[in-house]
Structure 1
Amino acid sequence: HVIKIKDIILPPEREKFNDVYIVYELMDTDLHQIIRSNQELTEDHCQYFLYQLLRGLKYIHSANVLHRDLKPSNLLLNANCDLKICDFGLARTTAETDFMTEYVVTSWYAPG
Protein backbone atom coordinates (compact mmCIF):
# COMPACT_ATOMS: atom_id res chain seq x y z
CA HIS A 1 0.00 0.00 0.00
CA VAL A 2 3.01 2.20 -0.69
CA ILE A 3 3.56 3.67 -4.16
CA LYS A 4 6.05 1.62 -6.19
CA ILE A 5 9.04 3.17 -7.93
CA LYS A 6 9.20 1.89 -11.52
CA ASP A 7 12.34 3.69 -12.67
CA ILE A 8 14.84 6.41 -11.77
CA ILE A 9 16.14 8.50 -14.65
CA LEU A 10 19.45 10.27 -14.14
CA PRO A 11 20.94 12.88 -16.48
CA PRO A 12 23.33 11.51 -19.12
CA GLU A 13 26.20 13.72 -17.92
CA ARG A 14 27.26 14.11 -14.29
CA GLU A 15 28.14 17.77 -14.85
CA LYS A 16 24.48 18.49 -15.56
CA PHE A 17 23.15 16.66 -12.51
CA ASN A 18 20.39 19.15 -11.72
CA ASP A 19 17.35 16.89 -11.89
CA VAL A 20 16.45 13.32 -11.10
CA TYR A 21 13.19 11.90 -12.44
CA ILE A 22 11.39 9.21 -10.48
CA VAL A 23 8.77 7.17 -12.35
CA TYR A 24 6.00 5.74 -10.17
CA GLU A 25 3.22 3.30 -10.90
CA LEU A 26 0.19 4.95 -12.50
CA MET A 27 -2.74 5.82 -10.24
CA ASP A 28 -5.96 7.57 -11.26
CA THR A 29 -6.53 10.20 -8.58
CA ASP A 30 -5.97 11.08 -4.95
CA LEU A 31 -8.28 11.03 -1.94
CA HIS A 32 -8.41 14.84 -1.82
CA GLN A 33 -9.97 14.95 -5.31
CA ILE A 34 -12.48 12.23 -4.38
CA ILE A 35 -13.51 14.09 -1.22
CA ARG A 36 -13.95 17.37 -3.16
CA SER A 37 -16.04 15.71 -5.88
CA ASN A 38 -19.68 14.85 -5.45
CA GLN A 39 -18.86 11.16 -5.66
CA GLU A 40 -20.48 9.27 -2.80
CA LEU A 41 -18.16 7.40 -0.46
CA THR A 42 -19.92 4.52 1.23
CA GLU A 43 -18.96 3.22 4.64
CA ASP A 44 -17.42 0.20 2.86
CA HIS A 45 -15.21 2.55 0.81
CA CYS A 46 -14.08 4.40 3.93
CA GLN A 47 -13.33 1.18 5.80
CA TYR A 48 -11.37 -0.22 2.85
CA PHE A 49 -9.35 2.99 2.47
CA LEU A 50 -8.60 3.08 6.20
CA TYR A 51 -7.59 -0.60 6.18
CA GLN A 52 -5.16 -0.01 3.30
CA LEU A 53 -3.77 3.15 4.91
CA LEU A 54 -3.10 1.33 8.18
CA ARG A 55 -1.45 -1.58 6.35
CA GLY A 56 0.78 0.87 4.48
CA LEU A 57 1.70 2.70 7.68
CA LYS A 58 2.47 -0.57 9.43
CA TYR A 59 4.82 -1.44 6.57
CA ILE A 60 6.71 1.86 6.48
CA HIS A 61 6.90 2.05 10.29
CA SER A 62 8.32 -1.49 10.38
CA ALA A 63 11.16 -0.10 8.23
CA ASN A 64 11.66 2.73 10.78
CA VAL A 65 10.35 5.36 8.35
CA LEU A 66 8.04 8.18 9.43
CA HIS A 67 6.05 9.79 6.61
CA ARG A 68 5.38 13.12 8.41
CA ASP A 69 3.07 14.52 5.71
CA LEU A 70 0.00 12.29 5.56
CA LYS A 71 -2.96 14.06 4.02
CA PRO A 72 -5.65 13.12 1.48
CA SER A 73 -3.63 14.46 -1.48
CA ASN A 74 -0.79 12.06 -0.57
CA LEU A 75 -3.08 9.03 -0.74
CA LEU A 76 -3.44 7.91 -4.35
CA LEU A 77 -6.32 5.77 -5.63
CA ASN A 78 -7.17 3.82 -8.75
CA ALA A 79 -10.43 2.56 -10.23
CA ASN A 80 -10.21 -0.63 -8.12
CA CYS A 81 -10.12 1.52 -4.94
CA ASP A 82 -6.51 0.49 -4.32
CA LEU A 83 -4.86 3.07 -2.06
CA LYS A 84 -1.14 3.91 -2.17
CA ILE A 85 0.78 6.22 0.15
CA CYS A 86 3.00 8.66 -1.78
CA ASP A 87 5.17 11.79 -1.36
CA PHE A 88 7.91 10.83 1.05
CA GLY A 89 9.63 14.22 0.71
CA LEU A 90 9.35 14.98 4.45
CA ALA A 91 9.89 11.38 5.56
CA ARG A 92 12.66 10.53 7.99
CA THR A 93 14.17 7.35 9.29
CA THR A 94 14.20 6.80 13.00
CA ALA A 95 15.67 4.55 15.64
CA GLU A 96 13.90 3.66 18.87
CA THR A 97 16.37 5.88 20.73
CA ASP A 98 15.78 8.99 18.59
CA PHE A 99 14.12 12.01 20.19
CA MET A 100 11.05 13.18 18.29
CA THR A 101 9.27 16.51 18.19
CA GLU A 102 5.78 17.14 16.93
CA TYR A 103 6.89 20.13 14.83
CA VAL A 104 6.68 19.45 11.09
CA VAL A 105 5.08 21.78 8.59
CA THR A 106 4.44 21.74 4.87
CA SER A 107 6.18 24.84 3.49
CA TRP A 108 3.07 26.52 2.07
CA TYR A 109 1.37 26.14 5.49
CA ALA A 110 4.30 27.81 7.21
CA PRO A 111 3.82 31.33 8.51
CA GLY A 112 5.28 33.76 6.14
Structure 2
Amino acid sequence: VAIKKITPFDHSMFCLRTLREIKLLRYFNHENIIAILDIVKPESLEKFTEVYLIQELMETDMHRVIRTQDLSDDHCQYFIYQTLRALKAMHSANVLHRDLKPSNLLLNANCDLKVCDFGLARSANSSDEHSGFMTEYVATRWYRAPEIMLTFKEYTKAIDVWSVGCILAEM
Protein backbone atom coordinates (compact mmCIF):
# COMPACT_ATOMS: atom_id res chain seq x y z
CA VAL A 1 0.00 0.00 0.00
CA ALA A 2 0.92 3.66 -0.29
CA ILE A 3 0.14 6.31 2.30
CA LYS A 4 -0.72 9.80 1.07
CA LYS A 5 -0.34 12.43 3.77
CA ILE A 6 -2.55 15.45 3.22
CA THR A 7 -1.58 18.53 5.20
CA PRO A 8 -1.83 21.37 6.22
CA PHE A 9 -5.42 22.46 6.71
CA ASP A 10 -4.54 26.10 7.43
CA HIS A 11 -6.80 27.34 4.64
CA SER A 12 -10.36 26.28 3.91
CA MET A 13 -9.46 25.77 0.24
CA PHE A 14 -7.16 22.86 1.18
CA CYS A 15 -9.90 21.35 3.33
CA LEU A 16 -12.36 21.54 0.45
CA ARG A 17 -9.90 19.96 -1.99
CA THR A 18 -9.22 17.12 0.43
CA LEU A 19 -12.91 16.52 1.06
CA ARG A 20 -13.64 16.62 -2.67
CA GLU A 21 -10.86 14.14 -3.43
CA ILE A 22 -11.98 11.73 -0.72
CA LYS A 23 -15.63 11.89 -1.79
CA LEU A 24 -14.81 11.30 -5.46
CA LEU A 25 -12.31 8.52 -4.91
CA ARG A 26 -14.70 6.71 -2.55
CA TYR A 27 -17.34 6.90 -5.30
CA PHE A 28 -15.22 5.47 -8.13
CA ASN A 29 -14.51 1.79 -8.48
CA HIS A 30 -12.49 1.59 -11.68
CA GLU A 31 -9.26 -0.22 -12.43
CA ASN A 32 -7.72 2.91 -13.96
CA ILE A 33 -8.60 5.27 -11.11
CA ILE A 34 -6.62 5.12 -7.87
CA ALA A 35 -8.65 3.68 -5.01
CA ILE A 36 -8.76 4.69 -1.37
CA LEU A 37 -8.38 1.56 0.72
CA ASP A 38 -8.69 3.34 4.06
CA ILE A 39 -8.56 6.77 5.70
CA VAL A 40 -6.64 7.47 8.90
CA LYS A 41 -8.24 10.40 10.68
CA PRO A 42 -6.88 12.33 13.66
CA GLU A 43 -7.85 11.35 17.18
CA SER A 44 -9.67 14.63 17.85
CA LEU A 45 -10.64 17.91 16.21
CA GLU A 46 -7.87 19.69 18.13
CA LYS A 47 -5.31 17.45 16.40
CA PHE A 48 -6.95 17.76 12.98
CA THR A 49 -3.89 18.94 11.05
CA GLU A 50 -3.47 16.05 8.65
CA VAL A 51 -5.26 13.10 7.07
CA TYR A 52 -3.70 9.94 5.72
CA LEU A 53 -5.17 8.17 2.69
CA ILE A 54 -4.23 4.52 2.32
CA GLN A 55 -4.09 3.78 -1.40
CA GLU A 56 -2.87 1.16 -3.80
CA LEU A 57 0.89 1.13 -4.27
CA MET A 58 2.00 2.34 -7.68
CA GLU A 59 5.73 2.41 -8.34
CA THR A 60 6.13 5.55 -10.42
CA ASP A 61 4.30 8.12 -12.50
CA MET A 62 4.22 8.93 -16.20
CA HIS A 63 6.27 12.10 -15.71
CA ARG A 64 9.23 10.12 -14.38
CA VAL A 65 8.91 7.47 -17.06
CA ILE A 66 8.88 9.84 -20.03
CA ARG A 67 11.79 11.81 -18.56
CA THR A 68 13.98 8.73 -18.17
CA GLN A 69 13.21 6.56 -21.20
CA ASP A 70 11.76 6.43 -24.66
CA LEU A 71 8.40 4.72 -24.90
CA SER A 72 7.52 2.31 -27.68
CA ASP A 73 4.41 2.93 -29.75
CA ASP A 74 2.79 -0.05 -28.01
CA HIS A 75 3.47 1.48 -24.59
CA CYS A 76 2.08 4.86 -25.68
CA GLN A 77 -1.06 3.25 -27.07
CA TYR A 78 -1.60 1.16 -23.93
CA PHE A 79 -1.08 4.11 -21.60
CA ILE A 80 -3.42 6.37 -23.58
CA TYR A 81 -6.00 3.57 -23.78
CA GLN A 82 -5.97 3.23 -19.99
CA THR A 83 -6.09 7.00 -19.50
CA LEU A 84 -9.10 7.26 -21.82
CA ARG A 85 -10.84 4.39 -19.99
CA ALA A 86 -10.45 6.32 -16.73
CA LEU A 87 -11.61 9.50 -18.44
CA LYS A 88 -14.71 7.72 -19.77
CA ALA A 89 -15.55 6.57 -16.23
CA MET A 90 -15.06 10.09 -14.85
CA HIS A 91 -17.01 11.82 -17.59
CA SER A 92 -19.81 9.21 -17.42
CA ALA A 93 -20.14 10.23 -13.76
CA ASN A 94 -20.14 13.90 -14.87
CA VAL A 95 -16.80 14.58 -13.20
CA LEU A 96 -14.16 16.88 -14.68
CA HIS A 97 -10.66 15.99 -13.43
CA ARG A 98 -9.27 19.41 -14.41
CA ASP A 99 -5.63 18.54 -13.72
CA LEU A 100 -4.65 15.64 -15.95
CA LYS A 101 -0.88 15.61 -16.45
CA PRO A 102 1.85 12.96 -16.52
CA SER A 103 2.60 13.23 -12.78
CA ASN A 104 -1.08 12.41 -12.06
CA LEU A 105 -0.88 9.16 -14.02
CA LEU A 106 0.56 6.47 -11.76
CA LEU A 107 2.20 3.33 -13.16
CA ASN A 108 3.41 -0.02 -11.90
CA ALA A 109 5.84 -2.58 -13.33
CA ASN A 110 3.00 -4.30 -15.23
CA CYS A 111 2.28 -1.02 -17.07
CA ASP A 112 -1.03 -0.67 -15.23
CA LEU A 113 -2.06 2.99 -15.13
CA LYS A 114 -4.21 4.77 -12.56
CA VAL A 115 -5.33 8.40 -12.58
CA CYS A 116 -4.82 10.15 -9.24
CA ASP A 117 -5.10 13.57 -7.57
CA PHE A 118 -8.75 14.59 -7.71
CA GLY A 119 -8.26 17.68 -5.56
CA LEU A 120 -9.25 20.05 -8.39
CA ALA A 121 -12.02 17.83 -9.80
CA ARG A 122 -15.54 19.23 -10.12
CA SER A 123 -18.97 18.11 -11.20
CA ALA A 124 -19.83 18.83 -14.82
CA ASN A 125 -23.56 18.92 -14.01
CA SER A 126 -25.21 22.22 -14.79
CA SER A 127 -27.39 21.69 -11.71
CA ASP A 128 -24.35 21.47 -9.45
CA GLU A 129 -24.24 24.14 -6.77
CA HIS A 130 -20.81 25.25 -7.95
CA SER A 131 -21.59 25.36 -11.67
CA GLY A 132 -20.66 28.72 -13.06
CA PHE A 133 -17.95 28.93 -10.43
CA MET A 134 -15.34 27.46 -12.70
CA THR A 135 -11.97 28.92 -11.89
CA GLU A 136 -9.12 29.58 -14.26
CA TYR A 137 -6.73 28.01 -11.75
CA VAL A 138 -7.07 24.48 -13.03
CA ALA A 139 -4.80 22.26 -15.03
CA THR A 140 -1.08 22.73 -15.00
CA ARG A 141 -0.20 25.35 -17.61
CA TRP A 142 1.24 23.02 -20.27
CA TYR A 143 -1.87 20.79 -20.22
CA ARG A 144 -4.46 23.58 -19.97
CA ALA A 145 -7.07 23.80 -22.73
CA PRO A 146 -7.37 27.15 -24.56
CA GLU A 147 -10.96 27.70 -23.39
CA ILE A 148 -9.80 27.78 -19.77
CA MET A 149 -7.49 30.69 -20.53
CA LEU A 150 -9.90 32.47 -22.87
CA THR A 151 -13.34 31.93 -21.30
CA PHE A 152 -12.63 30.34 -17.96
CA LYS A 153 -16.22 30.53 -16.71
CA GLU A 154 -17.57 28.19 -19.38
CA TYR A 155 -15.82 24.93 -20.11
CA THR A 156 -16.76 21.31 -20.55
CA LYS A 157 -15.37 17.79 -20.37
CA ALA A 158 -13.33 18.70 -23.46
CA ILE A 159 -10.71 20.29 -21.20
CA ASP A 160 -9.72 16.82 -19.94
CA VAL A 161 -9.59 15.47 -23.50
CA TRP A 162 -7.25 18.34 -24.44
CA SER A 163 -4.98 17.42 -21.53
CA VAL A 164 -4.84 13.78 -22.69
CA GLY A 165 -3.83 14.99 -26.16
CA CYS A 166 -1.02 17.04 -24.61
CA ILE A 167 0.14 14.00 -22.64
CA LEU A 168 0.15 11.88 -25.81
CA ALA A 169 2.19 14.51 -27.63
CA GLU A 170 4.69 14.54 -24.78
CA MET A 171 5.09 10.77 -24.89
Q: Could you tell me which residue of structure 2 aligns to residue 79 of structure 1?
A: 109
3-state SS in 1 of match to 2:54: strand
In structure 1, distance between residues paired with 2:78 and 2:53? 28
Superposed CA offset, 1:51-82 (max 9, x none): 00000000011111110000000000000000
Distance 1:107-1:83 versus aligned 2 partners, 3 A rule: closer
Q: Displacement, 1:26? A: 0.2
> 5+ unaligned residues in a row in structure 2: which ranges?
1-31, 143-171
Read off the aligned partner of 2:108 and give its amino acid letter: N
| Higher deviation after alignment, 60-69 or 94-103 | 94-103
Q: How many pairs were matched up?
A: 108
Q: Could you tell me which residue of structure 1 aligns to residue 67 of structure 2?
A: 36
Establish whether residue 89 from structure 1 lines up as the match of residue 119 from structure 2: yes
In structure 1, distance between residues paired with 2:125 and 2:141? 29
Q: Displacement, 1:15? A: 2.5
3-state SS in 2 of match to 1:32: helix
Q: Any conservation in 1 of the 2:40–2:52 contact (CA below 8 Å)?
A: yes
Return the structure number with greater relative CO, CA threshold 8 A, min gap 6. 1
What fraction of aligned residue pairs are identical, expressed as a percent? 59
Q: Displacement, 1:102? A: 7.6
Partner residue of 1:13 out of 16, 28, 44? 44
Scaled by the length of structure 2, the TM-score of the pair is 0.57
In structure 2, distance between residues paired with 1:21 and 1:61? 27
Scaled by the length of structure 1, the TM-score of the pair is 0.85
3-state SS in 2 of match to 1:44: helix
In structure 2, distance between residues paired with 1:107 and 1:72? 10
In structure 2, distance between residues paired with 1:56 and 1:108? 22
Partner residue of 1:2 out of 11, 33, 37? 33
In structure 2, distance between residues paired with 1:82 and 1:107? 23
Q: Could you tell me which residue of structure 2 aligns to residue 22 of structure 1?
A: 53
**Aligned ranges 1:89-108 → 2 under 5 Å:** 89-96=119-126, 98-99=131-132, 103-105=136-138
Q: Displacement, 1:106? A: 5.6
Q: Displacement, 1:14? A: 2.6
RMSD of equivalent CA atoms? 2.3
3-state SS in 1 of match to 2:46: helix
3-state SS in 2 of match to 1:8: strand
